Amino acid sequence: MMSFNDAKGMTKENLTLREVLDEYGINDQVNVGPFGSGLINRTWIVRSAGQKYILQRINDNVFKEPGAIAFNIEYLARYIKQNHPEYKFAEPLVALNGATLVKKENGYYRMFVFIEASHTIDVVETAQQAYEAATQFGRFTRVFDGIAVSNLRITIPDFHNLSLRYQQFIKAIGSGNAERKAQAATLINSLRDHSSIVTGYETIKTGKNFLKRVTHHDTKISNVLFDDNNKGICVIDLDTVMPGYFISDVGDMMRTYLSPVSEEEPDFSKIVIREDFYEAIVNGYYKEMKDVLTDAEREQFFYAGCFMIYMQALRFLTDYLNKDIYYGEKYPGHNLTRAGNQAVLLQRLLEKKDRLNFIN
């Protein structure tokens, strides 16, 4: 934690943070330190005059139009205030100039009031945690059921467009690195054999029974705030909120909660489907959304998991074939390992289809 009261000896970054705080009218004695484990945006905790804040710099290499993020959050905040004032909504503070974003030479910043007696979880460890998170993500979409979803702006184009990801995969098979294609031949064939998942997505897109909703699109457990009793408080990190299908949110929970190991695990024998976690996700989300989902949507909870796991496997393998131009690699074959991990997770899930394809 660093004091920001004396500019002497501060780094250029810290001087910028001091300027940002001034734009929010925070010029009392201030201490600032890094916060959280997020990989995209830079985050700090700010302590000033007995109050705590969260300060973030938006990664505009990922989010090309930070103004679209600000528009969406402000639009959602207005709806909540008018229609569901009881709902806890993670709304950014307004700077002295009336905006929720502060533009500096190195990017865009925003601030939030720190919610006391709250914490996040980096890795889901119990089915109850999965249930609480699924309930929060379901509630988040439900409270916006009456909003004009089409007014939301797209913050990451084609983020969960499975058809596009499959096309990119097929293109990479044709134009990717020959040596890598040979090494990944078995995995390539395996993923091509599951192309019916893409067909399912096309049916969803073109049909009338799946509705575009306010969708979070990044439902890892760390994007939920919990209280001291490990009950969910609210959803946070709304940068990826856009119009979308419920399968994105449910599927991403399944992809990241069902197995006790992450996509980084190279020992595939450790990849298993925890059935109680699956039930927790379905029951928590469905409890909140059962009155707004269509009959066709209710039938696709199991598909949601296949959809997201398959898409991530495609993305990792596509990047491997293209010599790691998107995700990069921490060791040789990193993205091939991650793609194989997700392919195994998909297979483990499909093996349990008869047991898990249900709605209570």
3: confidence class by pLDDT, cuts 50, 70, 90: low
Instruction: Indicate the residue type of 245.
Output: Y
pLDDT at 115: 86
pLDDT at 307: 98
300: confidence class by pLDDT, cuts 50, 70, 90: very high
Q: Check if the beta carbon of residue 305 is closer than 8 Å to that of residue 254.
A: yes
pLDDT at 329: 86
More confident residue, 34 or 150: 150
Domains and CATH numbers, the chain: 2-114 (3.30.200.20), 127-356 (3.90.1200.10)
User: b/e per residue, 182-221, with b = 16+ CB within 10 A?
Assistant: eebeebbebbeebeebbebbeebeeeeebeebbbbbbbbb
Any idea of the CA torsion for 328, 334, 339, 341, to the nearest 10 degrees? -140
DSSP state at residue 237: -
Structure tokens at 93: 């503070």
pLDDT at 36: 65
pLDDT at 9: 52
Question: Taking every pair of C-alpha atoms in the chain, what is the biggest distance, in angstroms?
Answer: 66
357: confidence class by pLDDT, cuts 50, 70, 90: confident
Q: pTM of the entire structure?
A: 0.90
In the chain, the percentage of residues whose pLDDT exceeds 70 is 94
Per-residue pLDDT tens for 212-238? Answer: 999 999 999 999 999 999 999 999 989
In the chain, the percentage of residues whose pLDDT exceeds 90 is 72
Instruction: Indicate the residue type of 244.
Output: G
Q: Check if the beta carbon of residue 112 is closer than 8 Å to that of residue 92.
A: yes
Per-residue pLDDT tens for 269-296? Answer: 999 999 999 999 999 999 999 999 999 9
Close Cβ partners of 210 (under 8 Å, ≥ 6 residues apart): 204, 245, 294, 296, 297, 300
39: confidence class by pLDDT, cuts 50, 70, 90: low
Instruction: Indicate the residue type of 285.
Output: Y
pLDDT at 187: 98
pLDDT at 5: 55
pLDDT at 6: 53
pLDDT at 2 over 60: no
Q: Check if the beta carbon of residue 30 is closer than 8 Å to that of residue 3.
A: yes
pLDDT at 42: 82
132: confidence class by pLDDT, cuts 50, 70, 90: very high
**Average pLDDT in the 234-257 region?**
96
Per-residue pLDDT tens for 162-209? Answer: 999 999 999 999 998 999 999 999 999 999 999 999 999 999 999 889
**Rounded CA gap, 66 and 168, in Å?**
26
What average pLDDT is seen over the chain?
Answer: 91
Instruction: With CA atoms as reference, report the closest residue to 314 among 222, 176, 122, 210.
Output: 176
51: confidence class by pLDDT, cuts 50, 70, 90: confident
Report in angstroms the alpha-carbon separations of 257 from 112, 125, 204, 245: 27, 8, 24, 19
The sign one gets for the Cα dihedral 166, 305, 288, 354 is positive
